[in-house]
Structure 1
Amino acid sequence: MQLFRPICWVLILIFLSFCSKDDLEKNIIKENSLELQVLEAYEEGLKSLNEGDALFAAKKFNEAETLFPQSEWAPKSALMAAYSYYAQDYYLDSIAELERFKRVYPFYKNMDYVYYLLGLNWYEQIIDEKKDLETIINAKENFIFLIINYPNTEYALDAEFKVALIDDVLASKEMYIGRYYLQKKKWIPAINRFKNVIDEYDTTTYTEEALYRLVETYYKIGLIDEAKKYANLLGYNYLSSKWYEKSYILFNENFENKLINTIKKDKKNKKSFLKKFKSLFD
């Protein structure tokens, strides 16, 4: 009886080893089969994308991801689904895919591309400076994140260029509102908008005009020293600018008007004096 027990254990171990080996082989076959299905779905997605059917392509890429979530093809497929939507201007669908990607694959090696594509999706929805700011701000946030966290990538350079264009749009919006306030003689809100351009968007094409509008606004409300301060700043940085020329004319016109009024007053006084002088001889 004692001899029988060790033999039983040996037989059980042998049986288990055969079962484990069999299960392992089955798992390998299953994984190979899944990978083939993934590749097939992925290839179908690529073909549909090349043929211009973005929606079906995205569906096949999502299918490839779902079939084998643990494979290296899963994140690639998810990214391709997002790109498929973007390629045909389905921006909101692409953004949803990319936001999901960030949650599911936070450590993916090509996250720089994820943020770049997110930025592009928002950026290409920008219409003009008078529309909703959501697209502008979201585009800038994603590009800035990319520039800060992935500065040496090929996407960072283009992101910097696009951020400069976005700042131009934001500055344009500030100028648009500032001019409106100026027209309505709402001096303080107008000044605040023009100062925002100088403080936040000083590298844009609107800086010169913003400086001039500050000169103009301060001049109109009688704060001549403040007007001169911004006129000097405008002249120091943009001496050949048309906006400096306009500020110069603004002050010069005032001087000429004062001179003309003085001359008219002198002429009037002179006529009065001559009349009084002539009366002495009447």
Structure 2
Amino acid sequence: MNGRQLGFSAWTAPRLKRYLALAVLAAPLALSACSSKDEFDELALNDTPAEVLFNEGLALRAQGKLRDSTAKFEELDKLYPYSEYSKKSLVNLAYLNYTRGKYTETVTTANRFVTLYPGDPDSAYMLYLVGQSYYRQMPDITRDQATTERAASAYGELLQRFPESEYVPDAQRKLLIVQDQLGGKEMQVGRYYLERRNYVAAVNRFKTVVNNYQTTRHVEEALFRLTEAYYALGVISEAQTAAAVLGHNFPDTQWYKDAYTLLNSGGYEPSEDSGSWISRAFRGIKL
């Protein structure tokens, strides 16, 4: 049987191949379009009232079906964006994601709520969940502390914007832990530089602890390390001031005894220069 009997001539074969290739390429696009259209139609056909969807989400949550409850609140948010029930669904979504350990989703949802409704009382809870999400992901002291800094920022914003919130006491406790870890990281890096006799870099790290983390347990060592670093640099006045401030605030510690011994070995004693940045940093601060 020849080409003419099949209904096409031999010279059309290359063209037919091109048509078939285009058809193969077009098929996934058509399926994708159908899929998107089906999803759109499904949403468009869903005329369930927002109140009903919200109550269904609450019922699923009460039953412990957290994944199904999450899906229900997400559906409500898509169907009725910016509605009062959508607003309530965001609060539930943030809570559900946090409960399920989905911290990235928690932060995204909570931050969206705070952006949309900055003055709403529930924004305090949202900021608390953001802080908690980062807090639970804090790395150990040897690693980068970007997540720890984000926890501090969220807790700090909560305390500043909603000082009367019921979440403030716990946020304050967590913030102390967060700050202690951040101060500890600065100390670790400072000691690293000190051991390598990079005294200027070390001073900068210990200075951060003294200025920003005065109420943490690291401040005593930071003042001693400043005494060490300044003494090694030959900046005796600052070394004496660091030791004097250390002795004034922590007179019975080994850190002060070591600072005093170091200065005394060179014929010096602790003596505070009131114009030093160290003195200014502690002025009015009760430790």
TM-score (norm 1): 0.71
Q: 1:95 aligns with which of 98, 107, 113?
A: 107
Unaligned runs of 5+ in 1: 1-29, 256-282
> Are 1:40 and 2:52 counterparts?
no
Same amino acid, percent of matched pairs: 35
> Are 1:82 and 2:68 counterparts?
no
Tell whether the 8 Å contact from 2:50 to 2:85 is kept in structure 1 after alignment.
no
**Higher helix fraction (1 or 2):** 1
Q: Deviations 1:208-245 (Å, cap 9, x if unpaired)?
A: 00000011122223333332221111111100111011
Q: 1:196 aligns with which of 208, 227, 233?
A: 208
> Are 1:155 and 2:167 counterparts?
yes
User: What is the match of residue 221 of structure 1?
Assistant: 233
* Aligned partner letter, 1:45: R
User: What is the match of residue 247 of structure 2?
Assistant: 235
TM-superposed deviation, 1:120: 0.9
Tell whether the 8 Å contact from 1:116 to 1:146 is kept in structure 2 after alignment.
yes
TM-superposed deviation, 1:34: 4.7
TM-superposed deviation, 1:108: 3.2
TM-superposed deviation, 1:59: 1.3
Q: Deviations 1:11-59 (Å, cap 9, x if unpaired)?
A: xxxxxxxxxxxxxxxxxxx999552343123312332xx3xx5433321
Tell whether the 8 Å contact from 2:180 to 2:218 is kept in structure 1 after alignment.
yes
Q: 1:138 aligns with which of 140, 150, 159?
A: 150
> Are 1:211 and 2:211 counterparts?
no
For the structure 1 residues 217 and 105, does the alpha-carbon distance in structure 2 shift closer, same or farther, using more than 3 Å as the test?
Answer: closer
TM-score (norm 2): 0.70
Q: 1:165 aligns with which of 160, 177, 182?
A: 177
> Are 1:57 and 2:73 counterparts?
no
Q: Deviations 1:123-169 (Å, cap 9, x if unpaired)?
A: 11111233233212221111111111111111122222222221111
Paired residue secondary structure (2:61): helix
* Separation in structure 2 between the aligned mates of residue 44 and residue 174 of structure 1, nearest angstrom: 46
For the structure 1 residues 35 and 227, does the alpha-carbon distance in structure 2 shift closer, same or farther, using more than 3 Å as the test?
Answer: closer
Q: 1:187 aligns with which of 178, 196, 199?
A: 199
Unaligned runs of 5+ in 2: 1-45, 268-287
TM-superposed deviation, 1:197: 0.8
- Number of residue-to-residue matches in the alignment: 222
* Separation in structure 1 between the aligned mates of residue 82 and residue 251 of structure 2, nearest angstrom: 63
Q: 2:261 aligns with which of 230, 243, 249?
A: 249
Tell whether the 8 Å contact from 2:113 to 2:123 is kept in structure 1 after alignment.
no
* Aligned partner letter, 2:61: G
TM-superposed deviation, 1:253: 4.8
TM-superposed deviation, 1:249: 2.7
